[in-house]
Amino acid sequence: MSSDFVRIVNARNGEMPGVIDALRNRTNGAFFLCVASSESSDIEGISAAGASPDLRRITPSIDAEALITGKPSGGAELPVSPTGVVSPVVITRACTRLAGFGITVVDCGTFKAPDLENVLKVGKGRSRCVSTGCAQEYEDVRELFYSGLEIGAEVGDQCDYVILGECVPAGTTTALGVLTALGVRAAGLVSSSLQKPDHSTKDRLVSDGLKAAALLLQDVVERPLKAVAAVGDPMQPFVAGLALAASTRVPVILGGGSQMLAVYALAQALLKTDMKALDNTFDRSISVITTKWVVDDSASNVGELSRIIGAPFACSCPNFRMSRHEGLRSYEDGNVKEGVAAGASMAVAHIAGGAEPGAIVEAIDRCYDEMVPVRL
């Protein structure tokens, strides 16, 4: 295996190298794609997860359908960015084949439910815009968290490792909201699916939301889920709960950049405040893996963010210049960057599945051939 395909960004006292060693030659992995929607995605300029507000509302369901079946239902096309770059679901689907892990789709609260059999429905519905300061009801957030705890306890006994992925348009904005509410100075650090992120709009939305919520830091310290209720999204509490429960038994990888760093910070805050629900166990293995395009983004600094919150953090480093497809080569120019746990899926295909970097790009190219219609 190539030693530089997975780059360690924050080792966290040797935890990240330990995770990589623990994943080698593991064959029984579980992958959860947790989809959710926020009305924040209707605001132009903060998300590339769809070329228009209406399309961004259905991106989570389309990505989930494409990951499982290879194509969206009803003749829809794969989500593309405003600049025409294809969804990272192409990357993840290819890597699920290489690594051979099982997939579960979880609907945490969307505009449109995925048209699939066996979708796990846990949410009450989409979240409101973060600017309202009341993105979700607190009791609904608690219910999502405890659903995650329950499922995480079960899955931890059934596999060698767990990957938790997401598809939440505008999720980096809700990530900024939760991090800020938790007391993390994350402004300007969070990444974006856009080449040139609009940090000012994200900052304004979060600032307006926190003012409207009138949250006191002490309130959030005592009840971290209040941060999610005020300015978060439905994916965050569910994934935090699942990660905390499953990680007492097996390594858990949060697949993503800013969004999963926010979930990591939320999980650590919960670990300090609700020990009865979390079995009073500190021995957990939770790490975050993203793509090099997120880590190397000059318009953000997720590496610094990972160090601030103390998250074991790494990134996969494919060379998409080798791809046959312009829609994939564009990733090297900072388009889209991440989503559907693309970075974690590539890393696990390499570490656990033993696939070499060139073979990973070739597999992604073949998947692109299958999933993306040829335009004449």
**Tens-digit pLDDT profile for residues 38-80:** 999 989 877 766 668 888 899 999 999 999 999 888 777 777 7
Amino acid at 169: P
Amino acid at 283: D
Residue matched to tokens 């009865």: 276
pLDDT at res. 376: 39
The CB-based long-range contact list for 353-360 (8 Å cut-off, 24+ gap) reads 353/95, 353/98, 353/99, 353/100, 354/1, 354/25, 355/98, 355/99, 356/1, 356/2, 357/2, 357/5, 357/317, 357/318, 357/319, 358/322, 359/98, 360/94, 360/95, 360/98, 360/318
Burial group, residue 98, by CB count within 10 angstroms (0-12, 13-18, 19+):
buried
Phi, psi of 321 (to 5 degrees): -65, -20
Distance between alpha carbon 256 and the CA centroid of its chain, in Å?
4
How many CB atoms are located within 10 Å of the residue 44 CB? 12
The domain limits of the chain are 6-371
Tell me how far apart the alpha carbons of residues 140 and 226 are, in angstroms, rounded to a whole number.
11
Residue 136 near residue 220 (C-beta atoms within 8 A): no
Tell me how far apart the alpha carbons of residues 77 and 91 are, in angstroms, rounded to a whole number.
16
Tell me how far apart the alpha carbons of residues 301 and 283 are, in angstroms, rounded to a whole number.
29
Amino acid at 32: F
- Angle at the Cα of 297 from the Cα atoms of 291 and 368, rounded to 5 degrees: 45
Distance between alpha carbon 153 and the CA centroid of its chain, in Å?
20
Model pLDDT for residues 224-255, shown as the tens digit of each residue? 999 999 999 999 999 999 999 999 999 999 99
Going along the chain, which residue ranges are E strands? Answer: 6-10, 29-36, 102-109, 120-121, 161-167, 252-255, 286-291, 313-316
User: And the tokens for 152?
Assistant: 């995480």
* Whole-structure pTM value: 0.95
User: And the tokens for 191?
Assistant: 């990444």
Count how many residues are written for the chain: 376
Taking 50 as the pLDDT cut, the residues of the chain under it are 376
Burial group, residue 265, by CB count within 10 angstroms (0-12, 13-18, 19+):
buried
**DSSP state for residue 32 in the 8-state scheme:** E
Rg (CA), the chain: 18
Please identify, in words, the CATH class of the domain defined by 6-371.
alpha beta
